[in-house]
Amino acid sequence: TDTLLRLDWTPAPVPADAPEPDCVVALAGPGPDGPATEDPAAAVRETVHRTLALIQRRLAEDGTDRTPLVVVTRHGVATAPAERAALDPAQAAVWGMLRTAQSENPDRFVLLDLEPGLDPDSGPGRTALRAALATGEPQLAVRGGTVLLPRLTAHTGSPADEAPQRQSFPSEGTVLVTGATGTLGRLVARHLVTEHGVRHLLLAGRRGPAAEGAAAFEAELTALGARVTTAACDVADRPALAGLLAAIPAEHPLTAVVHAAGVTDDGIVPALTPERVDHVLRPKADAALHLHELTRDLDLSAFVLFSSVSATLGGAGQANYAAANAFLDALAQQRQAAGLPAVSLAWGLWADGSGMTSKLDTADLARIRRMGLVAMDAATGLALFDTACAAGADVLYPVPLDPVPLDHAGLRVQAAEGKVPALLRGLVRTPVRRAHAGPGAPSGAPADRASALAATLHGLPQAEQDRVLGDLVRAQVATVLGHASPDQVEPERPFKDLGFDSLTAVELRNLLGAVTGTRLPATLVFDHPTPLALTRFLRTELLGDTAGTTAPTAPAGSVEVVAVNDPIAIVGM
């Protein structure tokens, strides 16, 4: 189904007898002395760096610890239009990064946005924390004592309390397209000329006229009646961008911006570094901020940001990219609150391979498809671009959904177990989940699954146990790698030779953990490097002396409150 989605916040039912939580709380935000810089872009990177360090430190601890880390933000999300003006894009970037950490490490992290003045170590704050954790949801906000949950839903028009701000592209003004020498930039630039009648284009890219095919593309647009300037400009460099904008002729002033620049540098959270984060933030977040500040006083009719659904769904292996795009989404909301034109388009996957998607392999595409997302062709994407620009909303998700994967047996199992990503639960039928769940998982479900599987295995000879578990392992390996059949998975062939990398290793760990109901270490695939070795390990886990054991956790009903960059302070509840 070709559709636009939007993010809504809905009240969550909270059980009256919510238990005291066992958790560690981290307060996201600047250090105790505030940001170390007055540069807004650098301040965002500083916040994201500290968040990355926090996540990595937590993951480096015992991987069997079931105590969740609750990351508390303020102004990280806007649950209603009235909250948009106070949004903090740096805190929004924290949400993007943590969403990926959640995807890679189910049940380890909870995101909670609290109102200012509501501290988790105060009485009202503890009440809010208890209510939020009792829902079992991984992402929440608390407003006026009400717990709210984010859900993607079909966009059918702006709410009554939200004035639409439609984007338009006047023919006589100049339209700036960043990332214009890339696949998506060129698609949009051509579309603006052929469908919107734009006659003056400023195409900015890192290589400018030196980019492959740039001269031919400029000639093509010129033949269509447009006047085109192709410029080499690092849009993350504020002085360079300011110079580019200053050179726009007064007779055709800048009237619209399409920010399509971006790069990826994928890797699981433990492998990321501040440098790899900055490499992705600069062309996305820094550039968007510079564009916002340098054009704020101009009479723009459109300010379109190319974001990604990964910022909301938390694409595994893309924590830096998710953080950058979450920043864009928040910036668009801020601009609309200030009466400025803006829309952030959180795209799904384009079939036309761009520089950011051309590296996707079979396993990557299989992972995306299992979420019910399908690649869109250029015609579909550009039609959604037009619909989104005319809709007037601040953040929209042009994400075609495939009804076939949503009916897939694997997703039905995930739905029955409460494992469908929380944000998609409004689009996929799921059963009512029991109260007092752990974050992101139904109450008691892992133990129930582990017990049921162990009971089944106990009644079988060892050879049959190995066959059952071996089939299970090979089925999950085939799923991760995008194979049509488990028969393609050789039991004694090393995972490395099968095509595994750090990201697919994490995904296999997560799938096996969900199916078996056991918490498995992050190093699972590296410690047991073949499907056969992994099968034997699982049999020991489920039937051996170590079955059912977990690492010690904090005392019942306790909370550790941790500042993102401070030593741990323990606060009893």
pLDDT digits over 57-72, tens only?
999 886 556 688 999 9
Please state, in angstroms and rounded to a whole number, the distance separating the CA atoms of residues 87 and 96: 14
Q: How many CA atoms does the CB half-sphere of 330 hold within 13 Å?
A: 28
Mean pLDDT of 283-311: 97
The number of domains in the chain is 3
Report if residue 159 sits inside a domain: no
Same domain, 195 and 272: yes
pLDDT at position 521:
85
Q: Are residues 215 and 67 in the same domain?
A: no
% of the chain beyond a pLDDT of 70: 81
Mean pLDDT on 231-254: 98
Question: Does one domain contain both 241 and 347?
Answer: yes
Q: What is the pTM of this model?
A: 0.86
Are 182 and 285 in a shared domain?
yes
Look at residues 304, 313, 400, 305 and name the one whose alpha carbon lies nearest to residue 351: 400
Residue 434 confidence (pLDDT): 41
Domain contains 168: no
Is 416 part of any domain?
A: no
Is there a single domain that holds both residue 390 and residue 459? no
Task: Report percent pLDDT > 90 for the chain.
Answer: 61
Exposed/middle/buried for residue 481 (C-beta within 10 Å: 0-12, 13-18, 19+):
buried
Name, in order, each residue with C-beta under 8 angstroms of 344's C-beta and a sequence gap of 6 or more.
305, 307, 328, 329, 331, 332, 333, 394, 395, 396
pLDDT the model gives residue 450: 73
What is the H or E stretch that residue 294 is in? helix 287-295
Amino acid at 422: A
Same domain, 391 and 514: no
Indicate whether 262 and 297 sit together in one domain: yes
Domain hosting 68: range is 9-150+554-572
- 464 within a domain of the structure (yes/no): yes
- Predicted confidence (pLDDT) at residue 252 exceeds the cutoff of 90: yes
387 and 501 belong to one structural domain: no
Q: Is residue 414 part of a domain?
A: no
Say whether both 260 and 310 belong to one domain. yes
Locus of tokens 């384009």: 350
In a domain, 415, yes or no: no
- DSSP annotation of 286 reads I
Cα-based distances in Å from 204 to 113, 198, 208, 260, 319 = 37, 16, 6, 10, 26
Quick one: pLDDT at residue 519? Answer: 84
Which CATH number covers residue 454?
1.10.1200.10
Q: What CATH number is attached to the domain comprising 112?
A: 3.40.50.11460
Residue 345 lies inside a defined structural domain of this protein: yes
Structure confidence by residue, pLDDT tens digits, 165-210 = 789 999 999 999 999 999 999 999 999 999 999 999 999 999 999 9
Domain boundary among 401, 433, 467: 401
Q: Is 566 in the same domain as 528?
A: no
Q: Are residues 380 and 318 in the same domain?
A: yes
Determine the residue type at 561: V
pLDDT at 312 over 50: yes
295 with 391, same domain: the answer is yes
Looking at the domain assignment, is residue 54 inside a domain? yes
